[in-house]
């Protein structure tokens, strides 16, 4: 497929066509900025980032399916190493990861598309999400959320707690 054809097809993602009562209409869909969350949000679009491996997956809001998912990076943070992004119109590049499945999907594992150990706040400032929901439009439910797993500060707090527990037990054993 030529570059010109691919660019045309990808740019058409921005305008989703819907058929309602026999009338074809266009609805412009703007990319959505991700918000940081500590846990997956069942009523929202959750983009899960594994802090240790760089793997990214996405899950649609409960009761909603996606036909297309597009992740955009302002600073070209994507590694270009995607999994399950192998369709004729799918894209895996430094500035964009795009997945299209006409049948729809509720979740997708995109593989190690980001480097490990990136901070959640920096990612939400860099990344955008766009797509198409089964039935038209782009339904993110209560919003689009980035969830860092495991959240680094939680691991640090857990480690500090274990050290304190060990020190307390050792002190009790000495007395």
- Distance (Å, rounded) from C-alpha 52 to C-alpha 8? 36
- Domain residue spans in the chain? 30-174
**Alpha helices (H) along 104-151:** 120-126
Per-residue model confidence as pLDDT tens for the chain (175 residues): 555 445 444 444 444 444 333 444 455 568 889 999 999 999 999 999 999 999 999 999 999 999 999 999 999 999 999 999 999 999 999 999 999 999 999 999 999 999 999 999 999 999 999 999 998 888 888 899 999 987 555 555 666 666 676 766 677 777 6
Let me know: does 112 contact 54? Beta carbons within 8 Å.
yes
If you write DSSP's letter for every residue of 18-70 in order, what string do you get? EEETTEEEEEE---EE-EEESS--TTBEEEEEETTT--EEEEPPTT--EEEEE
Q: pTM of the entire structure?
A: 0.73
């Amino acid at each position: 497929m030529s570059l010109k054809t691919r660019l045309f097809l990808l740019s058409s993602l921005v305008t989703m066509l819907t058929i309602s009562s026999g009338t074809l209409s266009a609805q412009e869909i703007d990319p959505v900025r991700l918000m940081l969350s500590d846990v997956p949000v069942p009523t929202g679009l959750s983009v899960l980032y594994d802090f240790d491996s760089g793997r990214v997956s996405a899950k649609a809001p409960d009761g909603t399916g996606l036909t297309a998912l597009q992740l955009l990076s302002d600073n070209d943070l994507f590694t270009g190493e995607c999994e399950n992004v192998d369709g004729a119109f799918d894209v895996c590049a430094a500035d964009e990861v795009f997945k299209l499945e006409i049948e729809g999907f509720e979740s997708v594992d995109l593989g190690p598309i980001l480097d490990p150990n990136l901070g959640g706040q920096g990612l939400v400032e860099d990344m955008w999400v766009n797509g198409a929901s089964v039935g038209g439009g782009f339904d993110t439910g209560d919003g689009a959320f980035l969830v860092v797993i495991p959240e680094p500060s939680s691991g640090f707090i857990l480690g500090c707690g274990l050290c304190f527990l060990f020190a307390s037990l050792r002190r009790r054993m000495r007395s």
